[in-house]
Structure 1
Amino acid sequence: MSSEEIRTAVPGLQPEFCPVTQRVIVVSPLPRGLHELVRDLSDGCFDVMVFHHLEQGIRNAQSADLLILDLTAYREQEDEAVLKNLMLQHTEEIPTLLLIKESMLPLVDERLRQQELLVWPARPQEVLYHAQRIIRTSTKKAPASLLLSGTSPAIYKDLWIDRKKMSVYRDGTRIELTKTEYDLLLKLLLSDGAVLTREDLLSDIWDTSFLGGSNVVDVHIKSLRKKLGDRASNPAYIATVRGVGYRMAD
């Protein structure tokens, strides 16, 4: 059941539209024990996929925004080995949350303390808070990397970019951009912070190498900034590099 269907089914709750969702992969040998976790994430506008086997889950997590590994079902004598072997898996580029039992805490060494850990069962909605925080603050997958890999949506600061729908959202509200404005924003995001000259943008967006005295790039950047609520003097999204071009702001 989708989050919208859940909200509709509960009396007194008005249906809420999730303009974009993010993908969470959950790996658990006993997923029936994570019913509340899946429900809370789904209700919080996450698309959740559950896998029984670690290898299959990690393979699918390459295109996910967050990987949740449930270690609570392992027997006590296996805990230390499971925790150590986990670090050998290919999860370095995937934001990951480990669900552990309280009894496993003494087994967590210094290396694992650097991972995101959550003692499970947790308080209601706590996993939703952790998922949102980890994705928002993670440096493992930069927005440009998500865009380049084709993952949708991607996040830049408080903007949500849904490439499938060619749409940009902030606080759940769609920002109405023209196709040219959207293409400009996407091109700057894909540059991963590098400076793009006006000639670069003119060539890629307008498919021409002629610049002459045209200020077409500047005009569209100004319009894009206005719709984003950005200011050239104190940019939050698009910074001007004088005499050169533009880049995404720090």
Structure 2
Amino acid sequence: MRLLQRYTNNETSAAGGSTDLAADTMEGLEEGAFCETTRRVVIISPYPASVRSLVMALTIRCYDVLVFHHETDPILPTIQSDLVIVDRTKAAAADSAKPASFAHNALMLIGDSAEEAAAGADSLVWPCPIQTALAKVEELASRNDPLPVPESAGQWLRHKDVVMDLKRITVHKAGVRIELTRTEFDLFKLLLANGGGVLTRQDMMRQLWGDSYFGGSNSLDVHVKSLRHKLGDDPKTPRYIATVRGIGYRIAD
């Protein structure tokens, strides 16, 4: 029989747990404070009592928490969540790999074993201090948070899931920051600002390095290749940078 528990703040207060834990997790929150925003976390554990303190702490922190017994529950793939937490503390090391169905964003709770910790997924030795667990959950659950709306639209350039902040000189893809060199940043900015129009290699080199640049176009191609690699872009089926043979480059459709 499937167990699905949905925890709310009122239910949590009756769920039991340490008074000290409640005091720790309530730090910085006013009593009766309204949760204006929330993230959804799914917890899968065959031993729900062992994760009660985590459920309680997350609920107090305005997370919407759903608890299941089994990883194979057919309803799981239909639930949208910001993070799936899978209790593997009593699982064999061979079973500690991250399930494919949770590949988008999952955290494995593992036992205190070096062999289990080498599983390759995002993992957390459990039990652990609750503040350590909260910090890890916050880090993973916020991975795909949308970036804040800019004060000035002219400060940002956008293309699909990539956002360029011209003021801070940063680039994010799907909410994750991509580290670019200054030349790569200027190159990408040049393509985005051109609105999908084709730029010749000569025009790009002139705008990047000035009229006095006498190097070959191979240098430009090297920077484009590096930029594509960091964006995870395939030149054969481009999502971000398209090659216009014999001419130059443009932003892909």
With structure 2 as the length reference, what TM-score do the two structures score?
Answer: 0.49
Higher helix proportion, which one?
A: 1
Structure of higher CA gyration radius? 2
With structure 1 as the length reference, what TM-score do the two structures score?
Answer: 0.49
